Amino acid sequence: FQLIRGGRDPALQIRPTLKVLALLAQRKLLPAAAFEELSGAYVFLRRLEHRLQYLDDAQTHELPEGTGDRSLVARAMGFHSWDAFRAALEAHRARVSSHFEQVFSAEEVSKHALAPLWTGPEQAETRLGQLGFRDPAGTAARLAAVRSSPRYDGLPQASRARFDALIPRIIEESAAQEDPDAALVRSLEFIETVSRRAAYLALLEEHPAALARLAQLLGASSWAAEYLNRHPVVLDELLDARALFARPDWSAFVQELRGQLASRQGDEERQMDWLREAHHALVFRLLAQDLSGALSVERLADDLSDLADAVLQVTLELCWTQLRVRHREEPRFAIVGYGKLGGKELGYASDLDLIFLYEDPDDRAPEIYARLAQRLSRWLTSRTAAGVLFDIDLRLRPEGGSGLLVSSIDAFRRYQRESAWTWEHQALTRARVCAGEPAVGAEFEEERRAILRIARDEAKLRRDVLSMREQLLQGHPNEGGLFDLKHDRGGMIDIEFIVQMLVLAHAHRRPQLTANSGNIALLKLAAKLELIPGDSADAVADAYREYRRRQHRLRLNGARYARVPAGEVRNHIAATRALWRRVFASE
């Protein structure tokens, strides 16, 4: 762990083994049980080492042969007999070996059975076909192209030897995937991408289990392949399956971010890079869990949203400390998320819809918080060697793109009550505070609920919502024969608009509807309040789940549009259209 992570995590560069083990457990890189067992074994073996050396006053690590010496060692270790001591020793050794095997894998033999496929004999196509490749001729040609490429020719001898050793294993692992051809193409592309980094080649050659996990990820998703090619630094996450598949501890993650950024104080470039690498690493862990089937779409969206919240909070704190002029110790400032972030439906590639608010009577506040918002935006969107944190969209702020970058709560309140369009109130149904001062966040939430509870002319509201829906349809024409899960009639946007209409039309009498609890929960609440039939709410909730699941899978494999044959979701479309007609009295 120190060799793998110590370069990016200075805290792991300490020497005392027990302190390192405790730190690994604290950061969830080791399970609590592993920490206890490894710590216990380390103390036991250290005590044994000292007693062996006391025995003959010599540097030795070998157990004694004589009966008398064995008896002395056993008693010194607190055992009544040599057999009891030896049983305890073997138990500790077995536990250490077990944990070692979970992190490392034994090296394979140097000559792989599939090595001839890499050298390109005439029988390669036949053998590739036997392995299950659907286009053996194309696969053989791709291997030959890699072998004759300038990039391969330019590798140092040691790196080329590792590259040569890896390719047969990659062929073998790719053949085990559902789509061997795609898995191999993506794996070869990735190996070429990292080939000039000898450490990455060594990592994969020396740890077959990591290579197997890599092939599984690349075979399962073209988006995962693109992500790894952009951020190969996350490769070391594959070494330990326990850490890779552990649930995130958000409190520990935030503390880790704060500590690491503090250790790089004064070096903004290193801070930016580390923040991005930490974010990439956690996204990659979630991706691995997602592709393994461990996460539902809803759970993944919650995790990605929580991750964004954590990064926003820490980045806000850091940007505040970097301002030269600050008029208070802590800013009275909040970051509000709209859209996918606000509704906790964030995807891997979602941008963040944000607005910045403050509540501060100081005359200097507008200028200082404007500078804070500018710095925060730069930190989130700047491209460094480690990439970009987030793409952000600030156009939902009062007055849109022409408005001030940051608004006071009072200005936000006036705008929402006097100038906002209906669609801006629709957007408020999915808004929430993601980071910042809790008191400012509470004021925003109170105002958000108050605005949603305003009594509205239902006929005008219906016309406004229908008009906005028509604009969205015109902006996303679908002239193909497939059903667009998001934009077409009967799809996800229709469901979202149904929920928003129910909230804005009825929240003045049913304040429970102002809760930002998600579209499915709000549909069920509307049914409980007898605003819509229960069977319709259940059917449309099922449709929304299925649409999201299908959309997610399509995007994981690079689909530009989330479109499917309409017949596959016919019942979901019908249920959504039926509830639409009931709520809007319109097609």
Condensed to tens digits (0 to 9), the pLDDT of residues 144-161 reads 999 999 999 999 998 999
Mind listing the pLDDT tens digit for each residue in 379-409?
A: 999 999 999 999 999 999 988 888 899 999 9
Report the distance separating Cα 119 and Cα 512, nearest Å. Answer: 68
Q: What is the pLDDT of residue 585?
A: 86
Sign of CA dihedral 434, 437, 438, 441: negative
Q: What is the pLDDT of residue 49?
A: 87
Mind listing the pLDDT tens digit for each residue in 477-534?
A: 998 899 999 999 999 999 999 999 999 999 999 999 999 999 999 999 999 999 999 9
- Say what the pTM is: 0.81
Mind listing the pLDDT tens digit for each residue in 558-585?
A: 898 999 999 999 999 999 999 999 999 8
Question: Residue 307 pLDDT more than 60?
Answer: yes
Q: What is the pLDDT of residue 17?
A: 85
Question: Residue 108 pLDDT more than 50?
Answer: no
Sign of CA dihedral 127, 128, 134, 137: negative
Q: Which amino acid is at 28?
A: K
- Give bridge partners of residue 408 from the DSSP assignment: 358
Report the distance separating Cα 496 and Cα 544, nearest Å. Answer: 9
Of 396, 406, 340, 408, nearest to 376 by C-alpha is: 406
The mean pLDDT of 244-273, rounded to a whole number, is 93
Using CB atoms within 10 A of its CB, is residue 338 exposed (0-12), middle (13-18) or buried (19+)? buried
Of 112, 191, 181, nearest to 142 by C-alpha is: 181
DSSP 3-state assignment of 351?
A: coil
Q: What is the pLDDT of residue 105?
A: 45
Using CB atoms within 10 A of its CB, is residue 329 exposed (0-12), middle (13-18) or buried (19+)? exposed
Q: What is the pLDDT of residue 106?
A: 39
Neighbours of 514 (CB within 10 A): 21
The half-sphere exposure of 320 on its side-chain side, counting CA atoms within 13 A, is 18
Cβ atoms of residues 536 and 507 within 8 Å: no
Q: Which of 31-45, 97-111, 167-181 has the lowest mean pLDDT?
A: 97-111
Provide the H-helix boundaries in 517-569.
519-528, 534-556
Tokens of 564: 């499917």
Mind listing the pLDDT tens digit for each residue in 38-94?
A: 999 999 999 988 888 877 666 777 888 888 889 989 999 999 999 999 999 999 999
Question: No. of H helices and E strands in the chain?
Answer: 28, 7
Which residue do the tokens 């499917």 mark?
564
Question: Residue 110 pLDDT more than 50?
Answer: no
Strand pairing class (432-436; 333-338) = antiparallel
Max distance between CA atoms of the chain, in angstroms, equals: 98
Q: Which of 30-34, 57-61, 304-308 has the lowest mean pLDDT?
A: 57-61
Question: Which residues, in sequence order, are CB contacts of 124 under 8 Å at separation 6+?
Answer: 116, 117, 136, 140, 143
Report which secondary-structure segment, H or E, holds 99.
helix 82-103
Mind listing the pLDDT tens digit for each residue in 410-461?
A: 999 999 999 999 999 999 999 999 999 999 999 999 999 999 999 999 999 9
Report the distance separating Cα 263 and Cα 10, nearest Å. Answer: 8
Whats the size of the chain, residue-wise?
587
Q: What is the pLDDT of residue 13?
A: 64
Of 275, 239, 276, nearest to 257 by C-alpha is: 275
Q: What is the pLDDT of residue 9?
A: 62
Q: Which of 41-50, 111-120, 225-234, 315-324 has the lowest mean pLDDT?
A: 111-120
Percent of the chain at pLDDT exceeding 90: 77
Q: Domains in the chain, start-ordered, CATH in brackets?
A: 31-103 (no CATH), 115-244 (1.20.120), 250-452 (3.30.460.10), 458-584 (1.20.120.330)
Cβ atoms of residues 358 and 333 within 8 Å: yes
Question: Residue 252 pLDDT more than 80?
Answer: yes
b/e map 256-289, b = 16+ CB within 10 Å: bbeebbeebeeeeebbbbbbbbbbbbbbbbbbbb
Confidence of residue 5 (pLDDT cuts 50, 70, 90): low
Dihedral in degrees, nearest 10, Cα atoms 275, 280, 282, 288: -170
Tokens of 273: 């890079």
The mean of the pLDDT values for the chain is: 91
Tokens of 130: 């036997």
